[in-house]
Amino acid sequence: MPVLLAPEQAPALHELLKQANVAGLDCKPADSSDQPEPRIRGLGSLSSAGPSEISFLSNPKLHEQLLNCRAAAVIMTEAAFQALPAGDRAYRVVLCSQPYLMYALLAQWFDRHRLNGLQRGIHPSAVIAPTAVIGAGVSIGPLCVVEDGVRIGKGSRLGPGCIVGAKSRIGDDCLLHARVTLYHDVKVGDRAILHSGCVLGADGFGFAPDPRKDTGAWAKIAQIGGVTIGDDVEIGANTTVDRGALEDTVLGNGVKLDNQIMIGHNVHVGDHTAMAACVGVAGSTVIGARCTIAGAAMLSGHLVLADDVHVSGGTAITSSIAKPGRYTGVYPFAEHVQWQRNAAVLSQLAQLRRRLKALETTKS
């Protein structure tokens, strides 16, 4: 069950709609009613929302769920409203051209109220270096460690067990969930959300071959760059962003990373690019703005992807992409025996190509 606001905190429907209108979305009730205006305590799905929650319809396939919907109000488009059957309904209709976006904005509003209700201040078990600069209204949870030279902007929150390494910077109004680790010299912009277990600034994977017998096969390359994160970035649980070898690894403004993603050293990710879970990006790759990388895609190192490139799930990108568009390289699955037969044919494509060219030359 979602956490609901207390009844005395719940806004009336028209007050809640102001939040979306202030954000630039044009939304309004579809019609007037003689019934008292509902007070909205939270959000819910069409199938589960109760009489004090607001829901939304963005997928026409879910239209039938409106028949048994118990929500106080439902956000939908004008076209969806016109398609409603005649007769009484238990919910109010809120018209909006982008119901899913309006739902997202309202969810943010409710979540801010939830966070504002949490305890603020610095827990007595937190260890904070005397040289750290802590902004106004910052909350630091139990067992956190804040090292020398750290600066934390106003209104930011650190959950239990977070570690902020020396000379790192956290902007205003950031939220670090439990056990986030920032190594030294990591810079995080304003309004970032970092989920539990994410690690920013671990060493990049850099080793030089070392033929000397007494030192082993590899010599470690010290990673002396840092990590720079822009504003409005969200990084998922257990995602890692390695520090640069010489210059910083950079995530631009508005970048969104899902859980369990690996960003290698010296990678640059452009503004508003989003990546789904289990993506791997090898070192020194440059990804443009507004790209989307679907789950489990792999990007080789030292590549350049243009702006507005969209990579399908499971795709391996092994060369640079200069043209915007969608790119897919997933071999279809099949029963194992059939897959083996197809793979055997694919392994002979180069030979078959040579034979075909020889035949064409003979005929000509």
Write out the DSSP string of 238-271: T-EEPPPSSS-EEE-TT-EE-SS-EE-TT-EE-T
* pLDDT, tens digit (0-9, with 9 covering 90-100), for 345-360: 888 888 989 988 888 8
Can you tell me whether residue 53 is helix, strand or coil? Answer: strand
Is residue 20 within 8 Å of 95, Cβ to Cβ? no
pLDDT in the model for residue 210: 85
CA distances from 4 to 10, 41, 50, 53, 117 (A): 9, 5, 11, 9, 12
Residue 302 annotated in active site: no
Which range is least confidently modeled, 189-203, 212-226, 242-256, 328-342? 212-226
Mean pLDDT over 78-100 rounds to 88
Residues 6+ apart with CB under 8 A from 212: none
CA distances from 306 to 19, 232, 310, 335 (A): 36, 22, 10, 36
Query: Which alpha helices (DSSP H) does the chain contain, by range?
Result: 13-22, 78-82, 99-116, 336-346, 349-363
For the whole prediction, is pTM greater than 0.85?
Answer: yes
Catalytic choice (177, 195, 265, 268): 265
* pLDDT, tens digit (0-9, with 9 covering 90-100), for 293-352: 999 999 999 999 999 999 999 999 999 999 999 999 988 888 999 989 988 888 888 898
Can you tell me whether residue 176 is helix, strand or coil? Answer: strand
Domains and CATH numbers, the chain: 7-116 (3.40.1390.10)
pLDDT in the model for residue 279: 98
Can you tell me whether residue 32 is helix, strand or coil? Answer: coil
